[in-house]
């Protein structure tokens, strides 16, 4: 049950030694993007709208950001900003700079309680979703988080880099495999062969699409499959209280753990793990490495998150979700893609050739729209294109103008 290099679209640290072909392929394209001025752009936000009107500080070029993950616009919501300021004033410090295992500021404790109630399950905060993943995944592999001993770890080939990056550490604890994207047949075969298996995947994928959740829950029911899912790209935008694509579709249980970023739709920063088994909370605070280190959520982010949580309890959340849903549906009418109709905000416009994707991105930028070119190994070879994030706080007139430019340029290029 091994996979070839071609089957893995993300380079993990254990692959660098044998990844010369991947790096040789990707680095010239990155350099081409840099040569077109598409990387390292320093901007001002003259309007206070951190999602839309940006100005290149060096050239004065004004553009709309089409790849912001601030899906609901909460990252520049006045209440969220004021929440950060108020918390900083109340605490009189940016953080305690102490392991949260030993001492937590009461603001962080309040946030933990608030988000646990909001999402209907015990949450564990962390400095980032990546830090939570790095601390928790090896403990899944070692068998400490659910009965059955060490678990064979099956990583979806499209799972986010922050999870793929932990493969070498997990491999010290158990067998690590990589399966094709949403390949439930492969996964079931592994479940038949081994008594204790965990599947590592995204809920809503960063390059578009979603996990085959119904099939995964069926495998969990039949084989005791442990699900470790990063659902960062759907938090806030899905669910009555913004609990996300996965949490809104399942009842939490000891065989499920969801990690998610607060730095996207939620509009703040840091991350949380939603724990299927609340009894693991104390164990993770002591033994999940970066989860308990001194670099936890800074006080301003805690305050901003408390303010965002309050919005999640209000009718404003439903209005923002409605606007996002309408914009996604409108964009799908303008530029249908393979993910049209799935209700999630990430779209990918595939053009095939990496150089073509960079040139398309460069010309769109010249016309006032920044959309990131994605290419191998971010996406499989031959599937280069543009990644677009649809948001609630972008006018449909802007979407229509952007779509007109994309159609014109893809024909020309």
* 8 Å CB contact between 34 and 47: no
Tell me if 44 sits within 8 A of 60, measured CB to CB: no
Sheet holding 62-65, edge to edge: 43-44, 53-56, 62-65, 369-370
In a 10 Å sphere around its CB, with 0-12 CB exposed, 13-18 middle and 19+ buried, how is residue 282 labelled?
exposed
How many residues are there in the chain?
A: 413
Q: Supply the pLDDT for residue 129.
A: 95
Residues of the chain with CATH 3.40.640.10: 78-312
Mean pLDDT, to the nearest integer, of 45-61?
Answer: 85
Residues of the chain with CATH 3.90.1150.10: 26-65+315-412
The stretch 357-377 carries a mean pLDDT of 93
Task: Note the pLDDT of residue 24.
Answer: 58
Averaged pLDDT for residues 136-152: 93
Average pLDDT, the chain: 91
**Does the predicted model carry a pTM greater than 0.85?**
yes
Q: Which two tokens stand for residue 193?
A: 């062969």
Cis-peptide, bond into residue 377, ω within 30° of zero: yes
Q: What is the distance between the alpha carbons of residues 284 and 290, in angstroms, rounded to a whole number?
A: 10
User: Where would I find the beta strands (DSSP E) of 188-325?
Assistant: 197-202, 226-230, 256-261, 271-275
User: Is 26-65+315-412 in CATH node 3.40.50.300?
Assistant: no
The arrangement of secondary structure in 78-312, i.e. its CATH architecture, is 3-Layer(aba) Sandwich (3.40)
Higher per-residue pLDDT: 214 or 50: 214
The CA dihedral of 278, 282, 285, 287, to the nearest 10 degrees, is -110
pLDDT, tens digit, for every residue of 236-265?
999 999 999 999 999 999 999 999 999 999
pLDDT (tens digit, 9 = 90+) per residue, 392-406? 999 999 999 999 999
Q: CA 308 to CA 79: how far, in whole Å?
A: 8
CA atoms of 95 and 86, how far apart (whole Å): 14
Which H or E run includes 372? Answer: strand 372-374
Q: What is the pLDDT of residue 23?
A: 58
Provide the percentage of residues in the chain whose pLDDT is more than 70: 94
Interval 368-382: pLDDT, tens? 999 999 988 888 888
Q: 159-180 pLDDT, tens per residue? A: 998 999 999 999 999 999 999 9
The DSSP result for 156-170, as a single string, is ETTS-HHHHTTHHHH
Taking a C-beta distance cutoff of 8 angstroms, is the pair 389, 67 a contact?
A: yes
Query: Is 6 strand, coil or helix?
Result: helix
Q: Examine the pLDDT at 7 and tell me if it is beyond 50.
A: no
Which of 66-75, 98-107, 191-200, 310-319 shows the lowest mean pLDDT across its residues?
A: 98-107
The tokens describing 360, both together, are: 């398309």
Q: Which residues, including other chains, have CB under 8 Å from residue 113's CB and lie 6 or more apart?
A: none
């Amino acid at each position: 049950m091994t996979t070839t290099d071609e089957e893995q679209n993300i380079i993990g640290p254990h692959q660098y030694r044998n990844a010369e072909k991947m790096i040789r392929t990707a680095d010239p394209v990155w350099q081409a993007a840099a040569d077109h001025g598409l990387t390292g752009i320093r901007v001002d936000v003259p309007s206070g709208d951190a999602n839309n009107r940006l100005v290149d500080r060096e050239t004065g070029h004004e553009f709309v950001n089409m790849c912001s993950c601030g899906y609901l616009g909460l990252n520049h919501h006045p209440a969220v900003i004021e929440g950060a300021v108020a918390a900083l004033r109340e605490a009189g410090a940016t953080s305690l700079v102490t392991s949260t295992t030993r001492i937590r500021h009461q603001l962080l404790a309040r946030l933990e309680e608030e988000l646990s109630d909001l999402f209907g399950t015990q949450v564990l905060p962390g400095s980032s979703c990546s830090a939570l993943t790095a601390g928790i995944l090896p403990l899944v592999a070692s068998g400490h988080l659910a009965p059955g001993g060490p678990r064979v770890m099956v990583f979806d080939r499209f799972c986010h880099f922050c999870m793929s990056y932990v493969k070498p550490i997990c491999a010290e604890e158990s067998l690590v495999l990589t399966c094709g994207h949403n390949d439930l047949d492969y996964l079931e075969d592994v479940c038949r062969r081994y008594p204790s298996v965990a599947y590592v995947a995204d809920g809503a994928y960063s390059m578009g699409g979603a996990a085959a959740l119904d099939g995964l829950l069926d495998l969990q029911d039949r084989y005791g499959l442990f699900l470790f899912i990063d659902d960062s790209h759907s938090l806030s935008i899905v669910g009555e209280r913004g609990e996300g694509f996965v949490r809104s579709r399942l009842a939490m249980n000891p065989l499920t753990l969801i990690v998610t970023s607060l730095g996207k739709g939620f509009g703040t920063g840091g991350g949380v793990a939603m724990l299927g088994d609340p009894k693991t909370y104390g164990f993770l605070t002591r033994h999940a490495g970066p989860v308990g280190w001194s670099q936890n959520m800074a006080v301003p982010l805690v305050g901003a998150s408390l303010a965002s949580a309050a919005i999640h309890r209000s009718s404003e959340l439903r209005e923002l979700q409605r606007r996002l849903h309408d914009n996604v549906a409108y964009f799908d009418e303008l530029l249908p893609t393979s993910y049209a109709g799935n209700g999630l905000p990430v779209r990918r416009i595939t053009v095939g050739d990496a150089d073509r994707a960079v040139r398309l991105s460069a010309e769109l930028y010249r016309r006032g729209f920044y959309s990131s070119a994605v290419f191998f190994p971010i996406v499989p070879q031959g599937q280069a294109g543009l990644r677009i994030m649809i948001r609630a706080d972008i006018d449909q007139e802007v979407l229509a103008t952007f779509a007109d430019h994309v159609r014109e340029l893809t024909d020309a290029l």
